[in-house]
Amino acid sequence: MFCHVKTSAAQLEYQAFVTLATNDSYARGAMVLGKSLRNHNTSRKLVALIGPQVSEPCQSVLKRIYDEVRMVDVLDSGDTAHLAMMKRPDLGVTFTKLHCWTLTHYSKCVFMDADTLVLSNIDELFDREELSAAPDPGWPDCFNSGVFVFCPSMETYGKLLQYCTEHGSFDGGDQGVLNGFFSNWATADISKHLPFIYNLSSIAIYTYLPAFKYGGNAKVVHFLGKTKPWSYTFDPKAKRITGSTHEATAHPTFLLDWWSLFSSAVVPMLQEQYGDQPFHSGCVEVMETHSQSNNSLQPQLSSEERKEKWEQGQADYMGMDSFDNIKRKLDTFLK
């Protein structure tokens, strides 16, 4: 599991950021992620692993952003019991992530979920060793497998598949397998603990806002959870997130960053590829109604009901419980 490589200019060729998209929705995420890495001038290669379900137009756009777009077999854990426990029946396919170890024409890589967004250059991650990752916000003795440093190796790939057949995954997805396999991550070597700013879950901001202010400067935001940036719609003119059928779970500012990049840099490329075929960009201009501007679409809740919703993880992040409102409240305590 060692891959000590000193980085000379030639060796940069052999290092890559890798992501995965098995369908067109996650492909949109991969497009934004790739663009964000390019915008922050990464010197490393970009690789997207895709499944056969990704449509031709999306494949073409990915090929314009990524150095390599590689079709892989979709692996599925089929572990409905554990996936149901996480309320994410869709995550069995994340086993496909394990294919990243087969990219042996690279010596070291950084895997990033398609629902991550890079906010500044993170090439320094290549100074780290396998397996480096940030703690999971839900269970910090586990690492979150949305961002990790690894060294491609067919031997490791084989051992991982063997691990899957013998032990399965405690969460039904790749994170369970990887934490089982790299089981000494929590205790063996602190240099393999990436700072949280490399995998900042937008949900964590709300559970520990003062730490967010203290830790500052997130470098990678991870839109972890069921609702993804592409689950919303966006009004590019008003620069406003408009999809309201989903509970907003992400920090509005980061969501806006995602949508600004998607609408300005990705949508034009998709438009070019789709040509006359209809496609839904998610960008919609919304006429502001009186009730919207007053934020009174939601029924008024008592403070007891709001507390209950908050404790169930259903805060009204875009409205009453918005980042700005929480900050204002905290500031009054801190004064």
Residue 23 or 156: which CB sits closer to ligand UDP?
A: 23
Cβ 114 to ligand GLC shortest distance, Å: 9
Contact status: 79 vs ligand UDP (CB under 6 A): no
Residue 115 or 130: which CB sits closer to Mn ion?
A: 115
Residue 69 or 203: which CB sits closer to ligand GLC?
A: 203
Cβ 106 to ligand GLC shortest distance, Å: 20
Which long-range contacts link 304-307 to residues 24+ away (Cβ below 8 Å)? none
Alpha-carbon torsion, ordered 34, 38, 42, 48, to 10 deg: 20
Q: Which of 15, 107, 145, 249 binds ligand GLC (CB under 6 A)?
A: 145
Q: Single out the segment in contact with ligand GLC by CB under 6 A; choices: 42-50, 68-76, 101-109, 172-180.
A: 172-180
Contact status: 22 vs ligand UDP (CB under 6 A): yes
Burial of 200 (0-12, 13-18, 19+ CB in 10 A): buried
Binding-site partner at residue 171 among ligand UDP, Mn ion, ligand GLC, none, CB < 5 to 8 Å by type: ligand GLC
Cβ 163 to ligand GLC shortest distance, Å: 14
CA–CA–CA angle 232, 236, 237 (5° rounding): 135
Contact status: 113 vs Mn ion (CB under 5 A): yes
Residues 176-195 that bind ligand GLC (CB under 6 A): 176
Residue 5 or 74: which CB sits closer to ligand UDP?
A: 74
How many residues contact ligand GLC, by CB under 6 A?
12
Burial of 91 (0-12, 13-18, 19+ CB in 10 A): buried
Q: Which of 144, 153, 231, 263 binds ligand GLC (CB under 6 A)?
A: 144
**Do the Cβ atoms of 231 and 246 come closer than 8 Å?**
yes
Q: Residue 192's beta-bridge partner residues?
A: none
Q: Which of 146, 152, 172, 229 binds ligand UDP (CB under 6 A)?
A: 146
Q: Which of 12, 39, 121, 225 binds ligand UDP (CB under 6 A)?
A: 225
Which long-range contacts link 215-221 to residues 24+ away (Cβ below 8 Å)? 217/120, 218/119, 218/254, 219/118, 219/119, 219/120, 219/122, 220/112, 220/116, 220/117, 220/118, 220/119, 220/122, 220/147, 221/116, 221/117, 221/119, 221/251, 221/254, 221/257
Which long-range contacts link 308-312 to residues 24+ away (Cβ below 8 Å)? none
Cβ 292 to ligand GLC shortest distance, Å: 32
Q: Which of 16, 17, 18, 21 binds ligand UDP (CB under 6 A)?
A: 21
Binding region for ligand UDP (CB under 6 A): 19-23, 26, 90-91, 93-94, 97, 113-115, 146, 224-225
